[in-house]
Amino acid sequence: MPRAVPLTRYAIVSAALKIAERDGLDGLSMRVLAAELDVTPMAIYYHVPDKESLVNLVVDAVHDRQVPLEIGTDGWEASLRRRLQSQWDELSRYPGLGAHLLNQPDLGATPHSIEAGVAFFEAAGFSRRGARLAWSFATTYLHGRLSVDARLRGSRSAKAAGIRSKDYVAFGIDAVVAGLRTMLRDERAANG
């Protein structure tokens, strides 16, 4: 018999987000999700074509909460710093999401999102090619860091030498920004 309240895409994605936040993206299976929704695994397939699409919907939902990447009045470096930090804050809630995005084409970003990123670095002074490389560099590092952090959930939070996740992220963001500052200076020097 049909459910009292019919299943919706929205309910599916909500439950998927809940599981991904609690058990990580690796803990999200069609069968676990179905159990959470009190439904047969195959019921989900009526609303979502396959698991890949489901995960994409989860990714979209998280991405929609991102603050846009724009250059504020305090310059591109401060803007980039804010963006990377807020991106880490959002994505680190879902263990395994960074690792997943790292394995997606274009780091799981939409064409629109990539264009915004490239435009940001062009506005900062990079060439189009340099902007594309800069965006990829910053995003690759951040998602890599998120992958590492995913396995630190629940384990001893203090690592060797008493360095915590937030310390690694803070250092990483500083180093990424400093590295890109130098790359921008070098590119400008080379192009006259």
Which chain residues interact with a second copy by CB under 8 A? 99, 102-107, 114, 128-129, 132-134, 136-137, 140-141, 143-145, 147-148, 150-151, 155, 160-161, 163, 167-168, 171-172, 174-183, 186
Q: How far is the CB of 8 from DNA (least distance, A)?
A: 8
The token pair that represents 156 in the structure block:
């001893």
Residue 31 C-beta: closest distance to a second copy, Å: 20
With binding defined as CB under 7 A, does residue 39 bind DNA?
A: yes
Residues 37 and 7 sit within 8 Å (Cβ to Cβ): yes
Range 162-167, long-range pairs (CB < 8 A, 24+ positions):
165/92
Residue 80, Cβ density class (10 Å: 0-12 exposed, 13-18 middle, ≥19 buried): buried
Under DSSP, the state recorded for 37 is: T
What single letter denotes the amino acid at residue 27? G
Residue closer to a second copy, measured from CB, 83 or 143: 143
The HSE-up count of residue 75 (CA atoms within 13 Å, CB side) is 5
CB of 190 to DNA, least distance (A): 47
Asked if 168 interacts with DNA (CB under 7 A), we say no
Among the candidate windows 50-58, 65-73, 77-85, 181-189, which touches DNA by CB under 7 A? 50-58
Note the residues at the interface with DNA (CB under 7 A): 1-3, 6-7, 28-32, 39-43, 45-47, 50-52
